[in-house]
Chain A
Amino acid sequence: MPTSEERPEADKKRDTMDTATARHIMKKTAENVPPAHPALFARIEESIEGPSPVSNARQTPSVSPVQALLNTVRDYLRRPQLAWGIVAVQAIVLCLFIASAPIKNTYHTLSANRTNIEAQAGPIFYVIFHKNARLREIEQLLTRTNGTIINGPGKRGIYTIRFHPTPSATVKKLLTTLNNSSLITFIERAY
Protein backbone atom coordinates (compact mmCIF):
# COMPACT_ATOMS: atom_id res chain seq x y z
CA MET A 1 0.00 0.00 0.00
CA PRO A 2 1.55 3.34 -0.99
CA THR A 3 2.32 5.86 1.73
CA SER A 4 0.76 9.32 1.76
CA GLU A 5 3.94 10.75 0.18
CA GLU A 6 3.86 8.22 -2.68
CA ARG A 7 0.24 8.82 -3.57
CA PRO A 8 -0.54 10.95 -6.62
CA GLU A 9 -1.36 14.60 -6.00
CA ALA A 10 -4.89 14.10 -7.35
CA ASP A 11 -5.58 11.44 -4.70
CA LYS A 12 -4.35 13.72 -1.97
CA LYS A 13 -6.59 16.52 -3.20
CA ARG A 14 -9.58 14.17 -3.15
CA ASP A 15 -8.98 13.62 0.59
CA THR A 16 -9.09 17.28 1.43
CA MET A 17 -11.21 20.26 0.44
CA ASP A 18 -10.39 23.29 -1.63
CA THR A 19 -9.34 26.53 0.03
CA ALA A 20 -12.40 28.48 -1.08
CA THR A 21 -14.75 25.98 0.58
CA ALA A 22 -12.74 26.02 3.78
CA ARG A 23 -12.77 29.81 3.76
CA HIS A 24 -16.52 29.82 3.14
CA ILE A 25 -17.17 27.45 6.05
CA MET A 26 -14.98 29.41 8.44
CA LYS A 27 -16.64 32.73 7.53
CA LYS A 28 -20.13 31.25 7.80
CA THR A 29 -19.48 29.71 11.21
CA ALA A 30 -17.94 32.95 12.46
CA GLU A 31 -21.31 34.61 11.91
CA ASN A 32 -22.73 32.39 14.64
CA VAL A 33 -20.37 33.86 17.23
CA PRO A 34 -22.17 36.64 19.09
CA PRO A 35 -20.35 39.98 19.31
CA ALA A 36 -18.57 40.90 22.50
CA HIS A 37 -20.98 42.40 25.00
CA PRO A 38 -20.37 46.07 25.90
CA ALA A 39 -20.17 45.03 29.54
CA LEU A 40 -16.97 43.18 28.69
CA PHE A 41 -15.15 46.40 27.95
CA ALA A 42 -16.37 47.78 31.25
CA ARG A 43 -14.74 44.76 32.93
CA ILE A 44 -11.54 45.40 31.01
CA GLU A 45 -11.58 49.06 32.04
CA GLU A 46 -11.97 48.01 35.64
CA SER A 47 -9.00 45.69 35.40
CA ILE A 48 -6.74 48.33 33.88
CA GLU A 49 -7.53 51.03 36.41
CA GLY A 50 -4.42 52.69 37.76
CA PRO A 51 -1.18 53.74 36.11
CA SER A 52 -0.81 53.78 32.34
CA PRO A 53 1.36 51.20 30.51
CA VAL A 54 4.19 53.74 30.18
CA SER A 55 4.40 54.36 33.88
CA ASN A 56 3.94 50.62 34.45
CA ALA A 57 6.98 49.93 32.36
CA ARG A 58 9.13 52.53 34.06
CA GLN A 59 7.84 52.25 37.60
CA THR A 60 9.92 50.22 40.03
CA PRO A 61 8.51 48.79 43.23
CA SER A 62 9.51 50.45 46.51
CA VAL A 63 12.56 48.80 48.04
CA SER A 64 14.66 49.30 51.14
CA PRO A 65 17.75 51.55 50.92
CA VAL A 66 20.07 48.54 51.25
CA GLN A 67 18.26 46.72 48.49
CA ALA A 68 18.34 49.86 46.37
CA LEU A 69 22.11 50.14 46.90
CA LEU A 70 22.59 46.48 45.98
CA ASN A 71 20.45 46.96 42.89
CA THR A 72 22.50 50.00 41.90
CA VAL A 73 25.77 48.10 42.35
CA ARG A 74 24.39 45.12 40.46
CA ASP A 75 23.19 47.30 37.61
CA TYR A 76 26.56 49.09 37.59
CA LEU A 77 28.47 45.82 37.43
CA ARG A 78 26.23 44.54 34.66
CA ARG A 79 27.53 47.20 32.28
CA PRO A 80 29.51 45.31 29.63
CA GLN A 81 32.33 47.86 29.43
CA LEU A 82 32.88 47.57 33.17
CA ALA A 83 32.77 43.79 33.05
CA TRP A 84 35.47 43.70 30.37
CA GLY A 85 37.48 46.24 32.36
CA ILE A 86 37.39 44.01 35.42
CA VAL A 87 38.50 41.03 33.35
CA ALA A 88 41.41 43.04 31.94
CA VAL A 89 42.51 44.21 35.41
CA GLN A 90 42.35 40.64 36.73
CA ALA A 91 44.49 39.42 33.82
CA ILE A 92 47.10 42.16 34.44
CA VAL A 93 47.26 41.44 38.19
CA LEU A 94 47.67 37.72 37.51
CA CYS A 95 50.50 38.32 35.03
CA LEU A 96 52.28 40.67 37.45
CA PHE A 97 51.96 38.16 40.27
CA ILE A 98 53.38 35.35 38.17
CA ALA A 99 56.22 37.52 36.88
CA SER A 100 57.24 38.83 40.31
CA ALA A 101 56.80 35.63 42.35
CA PRO A 102 60.18 34.20 43.57
CA ILE A 103 60.93 30.75 42.25
CA LYS A 104 61.59 28.53 45.24
CA ASN A 105 61.96 24.80 45.58
CA THR A 106 59.26 24.59 48.14
CA TYR A 107 58.51 21.01 47.19
CA HIS A 108 59.95 18.25 45.07
CA THR A 109 58.66 15.03 43.65
CA LEU A 110 59.91 11.62 44.72
CA SER A 111 61.87 11.18 41.51
CA ALA A 112 63.22 14.72 41.34
CA ASN A 113 66.27 14.23 43.56
CA ARG A 114 66.96 10.60 42.81
CA THR A 115 70.47 11.35 41.62
CA ASN A 116 71.33 13.18 44.83
CA ILE A 117 69.93 10.40 46.97
CA GLU A 118 72.05 7.81 45.18
CA ALA A 119 75.06 10.08 45.37
CA GLN A 120 74.66 10.35 49.11
CA ALA A 121 74.03 6.64 49.50
CA GLY A 122 77.53 5.38 48.90
CA PRO A 123 78.68 2.05 47.44
CA ILE A 124 76.47 -1.04 47.63
CA PHE A 125 77.74 -4.59 47.88
CA TYR A 126 76.22 -8.05 47.65
CA VAL A 127 77.51 -10.07 50.57
CA ILE A 128 77.23 -13.71 51.75
CA PHE A 129 78.22 -14.20 55.36
CA HIS A 130 79.89 -17.34 56.66
CA LYS A 131 77.38 -19.87 57.90
CA ASN A 132 79.02 -19.89 61.35
CA ALA A 133 79.11 -16.11 61.68
CA ARG A 134 77.28 -14.78 64.68
CA LEU A 135 74.91 -11.88 64.65
CA ARG A 136 76.95 -9.85 67.11
CA GLU A 137 80.10 -10.29 64.99
CA ILE A 138 78.26 -9.19 61.85
CA GLU A 139 76.87 -6.15 63.68
CA GLN A 140 80.36 -5.21 64.86
CA LEU A 141 81.72 -5.53 61.32
CA LEU A 142 78.94 -3.34 59.90
CA THR A 143 79.44 -0.76 62.64
CA ARG A 144 83.10 -0.65 61.98
CA THR A 145 82.66 -0.21 58.24
CA ASN A 146 79.54 2.10 58.47
CA GLY A 147 77.42 -0.42 56.57
CA THR A 148 73.67 -0.99 56.67
CA ILE A 149 71.76 -4.03 55.47
CA ILE A 150 69.16 -2.74 53.03
CA ASN A 151 67.95 -6.06 51.64
CA GLY A 152 68.28 -9.77 52.24
CA PRO A 153 68.92 -12.42 52.93
CA GLY A 154 67.88 -13.79 49.54
CA LYS A 155 67.37 -17.47 48.68
CA ARG A 156 71.11 -18.09 48.57
CA GLY A 157 71.84 -16.02 51.67
CA ILE A 158 72.82 -12.89 49.78
CA TYR A 159 72.53 -9.58 51.64
CA THR A 160 72.57 -6.17 50.04
CA ILE A 161 74.60 -3.77 52.15
CA ARG A 162 75.04 -0.07 51.65
CA PHE A 163 78.04 1.77 53.01
CA HIS A 164 78.33 5.45 53.76
CA PRO A 165 79.71 7.66 51.04
CA THR A 166 83.41 7.43 50.74
CA PRO A 167 85.99 8.50 48.18
CA SER A 168 86.73 5.91 45.52
CA ALA A 169 90.15 5.21 46.99
CA THR A 170 88.57 4.28 50.28
CA VAL A 171 86.13 1.91 48.54
CA LYS A 172 89.06 -0.28 47.54
CA LYS A 173 90.27 -0.37 51.12
CA LEU A 174 86.78 -1.17 52.27
CA LEU A 175 86.54 -4.00 49.77
CA THR A 176 89.92 -5.39 50.92
CA THR A 177 88.85 -5.21 54.54
CA LEU A 178 85.62 -7.06 53.82
CA ASN A 179 87.37 -9.69 51.69
CA ASN A 180 89.80 -10.37 54.49
CA SER A 181 87.07 -10.75 57.05
CA SER A 182 86.51 -14.36 58.09
CA LEU A 183 82.81 -13.59 58.43
CA ILE A 184 82.31 -13.09 54.71
CA THR A 185 82.52 -15.84 52.12
CA PHE A 186 81.43 -13.79 49.10
CA ILE A 187 81.43 -10.09 48.28
CA GLU A 188 80.77 -8.26 45.04
CA ARG A 189 80.03 -4.62 44.27
CA ALA A 190 76.55 -3.88 42.99
CA TYR A 191 76.15 -1.35 40.18
Chain B
Amino acid sequence: MNIGLLFVQHCAPLSSADIFPPKKNEPFFPSTAPMNRPATLDPFLSLLEQTAGGDRDAFAILYQETSRRIKVYLHRLVQDQNCIDDILVETYTQVWKNSAAFKGKSKVLTWMIGIARNLALKEIGKKRYHEDIADHPEIEAAGIDFEAGDRKEVFRRALALLSPKHREILDLAFYQDLAYREIAHILNISEGTVKTRVFYAKASLKKALERMGINSDDL
Protein backbone atom coordinates (compact mmCIF):
# COMPACT_ATOMS: atom_id res chain seq x y z
CA MET B 1 0.00 0.00 0.00
CA ASN B 2 1.37 3.38 -0.92
CA ILE B 3 1.01 5.36 2.29
CA GLY B 4 2.33 8.50 0.65
CA LEU B 5 -0.64 8.69 -1.67
CA LEU B 6 -3.03 8.31 1.22
CA PHE B 7 -1.72 11.36 3.04
CA VAL B 8 -2.55 13.95 0.46
CA GLN B 9 -4.35 16.34 2.75
CA HIS B 10 -7.27 18.45 1.72
CA CYS B 11 -6.82 22.16 2.16
CA ALA B 12 -10.51 22.55 2.86
CA PRO B 13 -12.78 20.06 4.56
CA LEU B 14 -15.02 17.85 2.49
CA SER B 15 -18.68 18.65 2.53
CA SER B 16 -21.66 16.88 1.07
CA ALA B 17 -21.56 19.43 -1.74
CA ASP B 18 -18.03 18.34 -2.67
CA ILE B 19 -19.09 14.74 -3.00
CA PHE B 20 -22.54 15.28 -4.47
CA PRO B 21 -22.33 18.48 -6.57
CA PRO B 22 -25.69 20.08 -7.28
CA LYS B 23 -27.31 19.33 -10.62
CA LYS B 24 -28.36 21.97 -13.09
CA ASN B 25 -31.34 24.10 -12.02
CA GLU B 26 -31.05 22.63 -8.57
CA PRO B 27 -30.65 25.23 -5.81
CA PHE B 28 -27.31 25.19 -4.05
CA PHE B 29 -27.43 25.82 -0.32
CA PRO B 30 -23.92 26.64 0.87
CA SER B 31 -25.08 29.25 3.34
CA THR B 32 -28.44 27.95 4.47
CA ALA B 33 -29.03 27.12 8.09
CA PRO B 34 -28.04 23.52 8.91
CA MET B 35 -31.56 22.40 9.79
CA ASN B 36 -32.83 23.23 6.30
CA ARG B 37 -30.25 21.17 4.49
CA PRO B 38 -31.69 18.22 2.55
CA ALA B 39 -30.65 14.76 3.69
CA THR B 40 -27.86 13.16 1.64
CA LEU B 41 -26.40 9.71 1.45
CA ASP B 42 -23.58 8.89 3.84
CA PRO B 43 -20.33 9.24 1.86
CA PHE B 44 -18.28 7.23 4.36
CA LEU B 45 -20.63 4.32 4.96
CA SER B 46 -19.12 2.14 2.27
CA LEU B 47 -15.60 2.74 3.58
CA LEU B 48 -16.66 1.87 7.12
CA GLU B 49 -18.36 -1.32 5.94
CA GLN B 50 -15.19 -2.36 4.16
CA THR B 51 -13.21 -1.47 7.28
CA ALA B 52 -15.54 -3.67 9.30
CA GLY B 53 -14.66 -6.49 6.91
CA GLY B 54 -10.99 -6.04 7.79
CA ASP B 55 -10.01 -3.97 4.72
CA ARG B 56 -7.04 -1.91 5.90
CA ASP B 57 -6.86 0.05 2.63
CA ALA B 58 -10.44 1.20 3.10
CA PHE B 59 -9.60 2.16 6.67
CA ALA B 60 -6.62 4.19 5.43
CA ILE B 61 -8.85 6.01 2.94
CA LEU B 62 -11.42 6.64 5.65
CA TYR B 63 -8.66 8.14 7.76
CA GLN B 64 -7.47 10.26 4.86
CA GLU B 65 -10.96 11.55 4.15
CA THR B 66 -12.00 12.31 7.72
CA SER B 67 -8.92 12.93 9.86
CA ARG B 68 -8.73 16.60 8.90
CA ARG B 69 -12.26 17.27 10.10
CA ILE B 70 -11.86 15.24 13.26
CA LYS B 71 -8.60 17.02 14.01
CA VAL B 72 -10.14 20.47 13.55
CA TYR B 73 -12.99 19.45 15.83
CA LEU B 74 -10.54 18.24 18.48
CA HIS B 75 -8.55 21.42 18.08
CA ARG B 76 -11.63 23.47 18.96
CA LEU B 77 -12.35 21.33 21.96
CA VAL B 78 -8.90 20.62 23.41
CA GLN B 79 -6.46 23.15 21.91
CA ASP B 80 -3.41 21.16 23.01
CA GLN B 81 -1.54 19.74 20.02
CA ASN B 82 0.02 16.81 21.92
CA CYS B 83 -3.30 15.76 23.40
CA ILE B 84 -5.01 16.13 20.04
CA ASP B 85 -2.64 13.67 18.37
CA ASP B 86 -3.11 11.12 21.14
CA ILE B 87 -6.88 11.46 21.01
CA LEU B 88 -6.84 11.19 17.23
CA VAL B 89 -4.89 7.93 17.39
CA GLU B 90 -7.25 6.57 20.03
CA THR B 91 -10.29 7.69 18.05
CA TYR B 92 -9.25 5.83 14.90
CA THR B 93 -8.25 2.80 16.95
CA GLN B 94 -11.76 2.76 18.39
CA VAL B 95 -13.24 3.26 14.92
CA TRP B 96 -11.32 0.24 13.66
CA LYS B 97 -12.26 -1.95 16.60
CA ASN B 98 -15.92 -0.95 16.65
CA SER B 99 -16.57 -0.58 12.94
CA ALA B 100 -18.36 -3.94 12.86
CA ALA B 101 -20.65 -2.75 15.65
CA PHE B 102 -21.75 0.42 13.78
CA LYS B 103 -25.54 0.22 13.51
CA GLY B 104 -26.18 3.13 11.18
CA LYS B 105 -28.26 5.12 13.65
CA SER B 106 -26.28 8.20 12.60
CA LYS B 107 -23.92 9.14 9.81
CA VAL B 108 -20.44 7.69 9.98
CA LEU B 109 -18.78 11.06 10.52
CA THR B 110 -21.26 11.89 13.28
CA TRP B 111 -20.45 8.57 14.93
CA MET B 112 -16.72 9.22 14.64
CA ILE B 113 -17.01 12.72 16.06
CA GLY B 114 -18.98 11.23 18.94
CA ILE B 115 -16.10 8.84 19.67
CA ALA B 116 -13.56 11.68 19.46
CA ARG B 117 -15.73 13.82 21.73
CA ASN B 118 -15.96 11.19 24.46
CA LEU B 119 -12.19 10.80 24.46
CA ALA B 120 -11.62 14.57 24.39
CA LEU B 121 -14.02 15.21 27.28
CA LYS B 122 -12.10 12.71 29.38
CA GLU B 123 -9.03 14.75 28.64
CA ILE B 124 -10.29 18.26 29.32
CA GLY B 125 -12.75 17.48 32.09
CA LYS B 126 -16.17 18.98 32.69
CA LYS B 127 -15.02 22.18 34.36
CA ARG B 128 -12.98 23.44 31.46
CA TYR B 129 -15.71 22.40 29.02
CA HIS B 130 -18.08 24.93 30.61
CA GLU B 131 -15.58 27.79 31.09
CA ASP B 132 -16.88 30.95 29.49
CA ILE B 133 -15.64 34.27 28.22
CA ALA B 134 -16.25 35.77 31.65
CA ASP B 135 -13.40 33.59 32.93
CA HIS B 136 -10.95 35.37 30.63
CA PRO B 137 -10.99 39.09 31.50
CA GLU B 138 -7.65 39.74 29.80
CA ILE B 139 -7.92 40.32 26.07
CA GLU B 140 -4.77 40.06 24.04
CA ALA B 141 -5.46 42.15 21.00
CA ALA B 142 -2.29 44.16 21.27
CA GLY B 143 0.25 43.66 18.50
CA ILE B 144 -2.23 42.45 15.92
CA ASP B 145 -2.70 44.42 12.75
CA PHE B 146 -6.17 43.45 11.65
CA GLU B 147 -5.96 45.30 8.35
CA ALA B 148 -2.53 43.83 7.57
CA GLY B 149 -3.94 40.37 7.19
CA ASP B 150 -3.82 39.08 10.74
CA ARG B 151 -7.48 38.21 10.57
CA LYS B 152 -6.89 34.54 11.24
CA GLU B 153 -4.93 35.38 14.37
CA VAL B 154 -7.69 37.69 15.60
CA PHE B 155 -10.29 35.02 14.97
CA ARG B 156 -8.14 32.41 16.65
CA ARG B 157 -7.72 34.56 19.76
CA ALA B 158 -11.40 35.43 19.83
CA LEU B 159 -12.34 31.75 19.59
CA ALA B 160 -9.81 30.91 22.29
CA LEU B 161 -11.77 33.16 24.64
CA LEU B 162 -14.90 31.09 24.24
CA SER B 163 -15.72 28.06 26.30
CA PRO B 164 -14.94 24.69 24.67
CA LYS B 165 -18.70 24.14 24.71
CA HIS B 166 -19.30 27.16 22.50
CA ARG B 167 -16.32 26.51 20.23
CA GLU B 168 -17.58 22.97 19.79
CA ILE B 169 -21.10 23.95 18.76
CA LEU B 170 -19.80 26.60 16.35
CA ASP B 171 -17.48 24.04 14.78
CA LEU B 172 -20.19 21.41 14.40
CA ALA B 173 -22.71 23.86 12.97
CA PHE B 174 -20.53 26.09 10.77
CA TYR B 175 -17.38 24.12 9.95
CA GLN B 176 -18.51 20.50 9.99
CA ASP B 177 -21.83 21.64 8.50
CA LEU B 178 -23.79 19.08 10.46
CA ALA B 179 -27.58 19.29 10.71
CA TYR B 180 -29.01 20.29 14.08
CA ARG B 181 -30.42 16.78 14.40
CA GLU B 182 -26.92 15.31 14.01
CA ILE B 183 -25.43 17.82 16.45
CA ALA B 184 -28.14 16.96 18.96
CA HIS B 185 -27.25 13.28 18.53
CA ILE B 186 -23.54 13.92 19.18
CA LEU B 187 -24.08 16.18 22.18
CA ASN B 188 -26.96 14.12 23.52
CA ILE B 189 -29.20 17.18 23.84
CA SER B 190 -32.41 18.28 22.15
CA GLU B 191 -32.49 20.16 18.85
CA GLY B 192 -33.99 23.13 20.70
CA THR B 193 -31.00 23.22 23.02
CA VAL B 194 -28.69 23.05 19.99
CA LYS B 195 -30.38 26.12 18.50
CA THR B 196 -30.15 28.00 21.79
CA ARG B 197 -26.51 27.05 22.27
CA VAL B 198 -25.64 28.14 18.72
CA PHE B 199 -27.30 31.49 19.40
CA TYR B 200 -25.34 32.10 22.59
CA ALA B 201 -22.10 30.83 21.06
CA LYS B 202 -22.43 33.33 18.23
CA ALA B 203 -23.22 36.07 20.74
CA SER B 204 -20.11 35.14 22.75
CA LEU B 205 -17.96 35.19 19.63
CA LYS B 206 -19.32 38.60 18.69
CA LYS B 207 -18.63 39.84 22.21
CA ALA B 208 -15.07 38.47 22.12
CA LEU B 209 -14.40 40.24 18.82
CA GLU B 210 -15.85 43.48 20.17
CA ARG B 211 -13.54 43.31 23.16
CA MET B 212 -10.71 43.15 20.67
CA GLY B 213 -12.05 46.25 18.98
CA ILE B 214 -13.63 44.48 16.01
CA ASN B 215 -17.23 44.81 15.00
CA SER B 216 -18.35 41.54 13.48
CA ASP B 217 -20.89 43.38 11.32
CA ASP B 218 -17.97 44.88 9.40
CA LEU B 219 -16.41 41.52 8.56
- A23-B31, A54-B53, A56-B97 given as contacts; is B92 within 8 A of A15 (CB)? no
Which residues of chain B come closer than 8 Å to A44, judged between CB atoms? Answer: 63, 89, 92-93, 96
CB of A187 to closest CB in B, whole Å? 90
Which residues of chain A come closer than 8 Å to B93, judged between CB atoms? Answer: 44, 47-48
Name 10 extra pairs, CB < 8 A, besides A22-B202, A45-B56, A47-B90: A16-B199, A17-B202, A17-B205, A23-B31, A24-B219, A28-B151, A36-B68, A41-B3, A41-B60, A53-B53
Cβ contact within 8 Å between B100 and A54: yes
Cβ contact within 8 Å between A28 and B88: no
Indicate if A137 sits at the interface (CB-CB under 8 A): no
Contact of B96 among A26, A42, A48 (CB under 8 A): A48
Indicate if B85 sits at the interface (CB-CB under 8 A): yes
- A48-B96, A52-B53, A53-B98 given as contacts; is B12 within 8 A of A27 (CB)? yes
Cβ contact within 8 Å between A33 and B71: yes
Chain A residues with CB under 8 Å of chain B are: 12, 15-17, 19-38, 40-45, 47-48, 52-57
Cβ contact within 8 Å between B152 and A35: no
Which of B128-136, B169-177, B179-187 lies at the interface?
Answer: B169-177
Which residues of chain A come closer than 8 Å to B163, judged between CB atoms? Answer: none
Contact of A15 among B97, B156, B203 (CB under 8 A): B203
Indicate if B111 sits at the interface (CB-CB under 8 A): no
Indicate if B159 sits at the interface (CB-CB under 8 A): yes
Task: Give bound CA distance, A166 to B156, whole Å.
Answer: 112
The residue on A at minimum CB distance from B176 is A26
Specify the main secondary structure of chain B where it touches its partner: helix
CB of B202 to closest CB in A, whole Å? 4
Indicate if B52 sits at the interface (CB-CB under 8 A): yes
- A19-B31, A30-B72, A47-B93 given as contacts; is B52 within 8 A of A54 (CB)? yes
Which residues of chain B come closer than 8 Å to A15, judged between CB atoms? Answer: 203, 206
CB of A145 to closest CB in B, whole Å? 91
Contact of A25 among B4, B59, B60, B159 (CB under 8 A): B159
